[in-house]
Amino acid sequence: LSRQSFLTRQETLVNMCDERARMLQDQFNVSMNHVHALAILVSTFHHGKDPSKIDQKTFGEYTETTAFERPLTSGVAYALKVPHSDRKLFEKQHRWTIKKMETQDQTLVQDCIPEKLDPAPISDEYAPVIFSQETVSHIVSIDMMSGKEDRDNILRARASGKGVLTSPFKLLKSNHLGVVLTFAVYNTELPLDATPEQRIEAAVGYLGASYDVPSLVEKLLHQLASKETIFVHVYDTTNSSSPILMYGSDVIDTGLLHVSNLDFGDPLRRHEMHCRFKHKP
């Protein structure tokens, strides 16, 4: 291979990879902004009105008809902050018990059969899902603080006031790795310089979106021509010594590798796109 054709080939790979990384990042950013707007909608019309202007029917219809605004998401849901002292009254009003995400038998959780889910054990506070897009209706009544990744997200979202992302983990009822994006919903107008303590206190709930990464990245790449040309892998590289593969398979070494950076807006997480040609020159 001549030096010139090597350089041309390398340049092609760089351009294709950067273009795909930018598309994925832009689409993620668009949906993140819309999820943020949903959190403000819930704050204004559920917590800001008495009686509330939002119920499951309104939330379900609104989120379904605006789903096109949130590319790459598989569904959105709203979980309420319930202190233990309010649990009895909350469960009586909703006519269901707050459920625990993790059971002894993981297969039952994955299937998300409501009757098989145990009630949430006693805790200081809970985050049961009260509204959901139809696509994730299986998480209604589940305490999102009873799952490690969801819990970490809730704690970080409400203390920071920013959109936060989980590490990749297996989403309920799906066989795919995914991530969850969370925005806290606050009851009062917080000053811009509010302390984490003020934020934690003012939090009333958590608006979250789930991203089924393999199927959604596949859909995105499919829209592009020359899908046959390169392998694309997406990694969570937050822990640089053990990157987590989020998308892609069958790594074949064909020489050139290009790594494009991905910024999903959460400074605590790092992501990369790795691209390789499928065929040797």
Binding site for ligand WA2 (CB under 6 A): 77, 79, 129, 136, 139, 144, 147, 150, 153-154, 171-172, 180, 182, 206, 208, 210
CB of 73 to ligand WA2, least distance (A): 10
Residue 3 Cβ, how far from ligand WA2 at the closest point, in Å? 50
Rg (the chain; Cα; Å): 21
By C-beta, is 25 or 182 nearer to ligand WA2? 182
Q: Using the minimum distance from each CB to ligand WA2, give the nearer residue, 77 or 220.
A: 77
User: What residue type is assigned to position 238 of the chain?
Assistant: T
Amino acid at 50: D
- Is residue 175 within 8 A of residue 138, CB to CB? The reply is no
Of 129 and 217, which CB lies nearer to ligand WA2 in the complex structure?
A: 129
CB of 276: closest distance to ligand WA2 in angstroms?
A: 31
Q: Which residues contact 265 (CB under 8 A, 6 or more apart)?
A: 28, 29, 32, 163, 165
| Between 172 and 217, CB nearer to ligand WA2 | 172
Helix, strand, coil shares of the chain, percent, nearest 5, are 40, 25, 35
Cβ proximity to ligand WA2, 136 vs 246, nearer residue? 136
Q: Which residue is nearest to ligand WA2 (CB)?
A: 208
Between CA 31 and CA 67 the distance in angstroms is 9
Q: Return the closest-CA partner of residue 205 out of 154, 133, 150.
A: 154
For residue 161 the two structure tokens come to: 């006031």
Provide, rounded to whole angstroms, the least separation between the CB of residue 268 and ligand WA2: 15
